[in-house]
Chain A
Amino acid sequence: MTSGAEVDLNAVKGSEHGDGNVASGAALLSFTEAVLGRDQAALSESRAALLTAIGAAGIADVAGVIGAFEMMNRVANATGTPLDEPLVAQTAGVLPFVGADDFASAPESSDS
């Protein structure tokens, strides 16, 4: 982690926007994008880079986080899950910044 630096939310929009000031952030984002893009060439390359950055245990744990959110995103979007009240206030300034106002789920997630 970059000591003393704040997380840069631009990174949520893609690896081309930097590493978010998170340790190995660029490698983590490139790997995540290759997995969801199902791009085998990019996946092999980014997995090798991530292995160098965070090791074998790290790869398995990142794969777990990606898998967990592949599940949670589908559960949320398929069930019309509204944002929890505390998150509505906490994310009010963040969601438009990362383009979330344009998501198809936007009305359902903010109307509760």
Chain B
Amino acid sequence: MSDEISATQLYGADLAVRPEVATAHASLLMHATSAGEWWSAEERAAISQQVRAAQTAEPLAPWVSPSSVDGLIEPGPLSVGVVDAIWRITNHPGTLTAEWHAEVLASGVEPAAYVELAALVSMVVSLDTFALAVGRATLALPTAAADEAPAVGSTTDAGVADHWVPTVANDELPNVRKALTAVPLAFQMQGEILEAQYVPGGALAVPLDEDIWSLNRLQVELVATRVSNMNECFY
């Protein structure tokens, strides 16, 4: 499906969206509502919808769980703890701590399932932020197949090392890419987005004095660093 969708189909003819970006976004739409390795297609669609609910809701303080607000969360296939985690990662990424992560796991989420959850939330935020930036409505999510179950546990050689979450040892990868290695589908989708929207081949693949797409490298890094600063993130 993704190969058949053009930038014009996704965002209209008047925007100069590159084909590789459109391809990545079409892939991400399918990724968001297809079965993963720990979550079913229906659950992943519900996760994606909760991200959108969190983004458009009246702001809550980081310490206020959406599940504690009467009428804010409608019953669905996700547990209360998972919904609260989705909203926290979506709206308050600068407040996440090791203690908070431990509480999410204590609510019954498997460590690798949490990786898949965090990855999907992050990617849907990314997709919707792009649409906001170019002045378009968020892209409609495909309908999830209700009976599409997850393919559990495809990666068994992941363990907790330097991150809070389990990762697969790989000295070739930067830590932020290694973060998703316990869930290959998420790792692959992350790479596709980065190749299309950041520096092809990785941050060190292009010298600082070379252009990237229509921008020069300093412009790219200025924007990236400002985003990280606003999100209170070291990267």
Contacts and interface: CB of A to CB of B under 8 A. Distances in A.
State yes or no: do A and B come from one complex: yes
Contacts of B18: 57, 60-61, 64
Contacts of A11: 222, 226
Contact of A76 (B123, B176, B216): B176
B130 A57 contact: no
B93 A74 contact: yes
A61 B224 contact: no
Contact of B235 (A57, A58, A76, A104): A76
Interface SS of chain A: helix
Given A54-B214, A80-B98, A80-B163, A74 B222 contact: no
Interface residues on B, range: 35 or more
Contacts, number: 243
Interface in A70-104: 70-84, 91, 95, 98-100, 103-104
Contacts of A100: 229, 232, 234
Contact of B234 (A23, A66, A95): A95
Interface stretch (B38-46, B76-84, B188-196): B188-196
Contact of A13 (B55, B229, B234): B229
Contacts of B233: 72-73, 76-77, 103, 105
B71 interface: no
Given A25-B222, A74-B118, A74-B125, A80 B215 contact: no
Nearest to B24: A64
A98 B126 CA distance: 24
A24 B196 CA distance: 22
13 contacts: A12-B225, A22-B218, A28-B222, A32-B223, A56-B15, A61-B213, A61-B214, A69-B224, A75-B176, A75-B179, A76-B179, A79-B180, A100-B234
Interface of B: 14-18, 21, 55, 89-90, 93-98, 101, 115, 118-119, 121-123, 125-127, 129-130, 132-135, 162-165, 174-176, 178-180, 190, 193-194, 196-198, 212-216, 218-220, 222-235
Interface of A: 1, 7, 11-14, 20, 22-25, 28-29, 31-33, 35-36, 38, 43-44, 47, 54-84, 91, 95, 98-100, 103-106, 108-110, 112
